[in-house]
Amino acid sequence: MGRRLISGLIGVLAAVASIASPPDGAAVLHHEKSLYRNIFVYEEDGLRCMSFSRVTTARQSCMALAEPARLVFNYARMMMAALYLNPAPRRILILGLGGGTLPSAFQRLLPAAAIDAVEIDPAVVRVARKYFAFEPSATTRVFEEDGRVFVKRMQRANVTYDLVVLDAFDHEYIPEHMLTREFLLEVKSLLGDRGVLAANTFSVSKLYQYESATYFNVFGDFFGLRQNNRLILVRLGGLPSKGEIAHNAELLDAKLAPLGVDRNWLLPQIEIERGWPASTRVLTDQYSPSNLLNAPP
């Protein structure tokens, strides 16, 4: 059995074996151990949240009970910048469901768009429906399978998307097989003309420079938006000008306001990211990111 497979099995077993705990004083609504992880749903300070980890600050999704449409997390609001690069995507792919925050937001904003949402864990899909008001529209399909397997299937079928959102996380970070150059090339093949990719990553990580080098290797220049998380944005055929972005932001202002998205907050963050060492190694299927994450200091 290879080292990468053993590492993956250990990670899955750790996720299943660990017992998460919600914040002190929070009202626990649901707890279950799925095949892949612990899942907690709890309420605190007007928020309903989902967590996969003992570390209760590592929340996967949160919904404001008084304003269900409002995007609670900074990264989710930053995701809406993808529409500044293409304001009217007709086909959208989202890898990673959580509480269904992003599919629900795109359904409200783009009711005619065809949305494919992919989640490996059926338990997460059930929890999103029951506790986070996630209800797929007539144009939304939910697939319960590994995100990379789905991408390969669509690649073989010559399916393309105008917008691809990468938001798949396990109890630690993005699954290692969805961080590599090979995976990003597979995703790139799904992007249509001037297609947009938006990827949610950590703003502080041992992998930060490696991720940057890998995305640049596959896509060239990209925008890097940073708050609690980093959002990587690319567009095939070249990044849009600041003028085009500002124009699209103005057009979308009224539609995005109910989600809590303020263009005066979002626009200044959209800058081309550079600065990692030229010698930074590109992540590949043979060069395992988990080895970097778990390396001793």
How many independent structural domains does the chain possess?
2
CATH code, domain with 203: 3.40.50.150
Same domain, 60 and 138: no
Both tokens of 214, joined, read: 């890998």
Same domain, 36 and 180: no
Same domain, 56 and 183: no
Same domain, 58 and 199: no
Maximum Cα interatomic distance, the chain, rounded to a whole number of Å? 55
User: Could you tell me the CA-to-CA distances from 126 to 97, 123, 143, 182 in Å, in that order?
Assistant: 11, 5, 12, 31
What is the separation, in whole angstroms, between the first and last Cα of the chain?
Answer: 27
- Nearest-CA neighbor of 95 among 166, 176, 27? 166
Same domain, 247 and 100: yes
**C-alpha–C-alpha distance, residues 10 and 206, integer Å:** 20
Domain of residue 48: give its range.
3-64
Single out the residue in 64, 88, 106 at which a domain terminates: 64
State the catalytic residue, choosing from 167, 170, 193, 285.
167
Q: List the chain pLDDT tens, one digit each, 297 residues.
A: 343 433 333 333 333 333 345 556 678 899 999 999 899 999 999 999 999 865 445 788 999 999 999 999 999 999 999 999 999 999 999 999 999 999 999 999 999 999 999 999 999 999 999 999 999 999 999 999 999 999 999 999 999 999 999 999 887 889 999 999 999 999 999 999 999 999 999 999 899 999 999 999 999 999 999 998 999 999 999 999 999 999 999 999 999 999 999 999 999 999 999 999 999 999 999 997 777 776 655
Single out the residue in 64, 86, 110 at which a domain terminates: 64
167 counts as catalytic: yes
Average pLDDT, the chain: 90
Same domain, 23 and 141: no
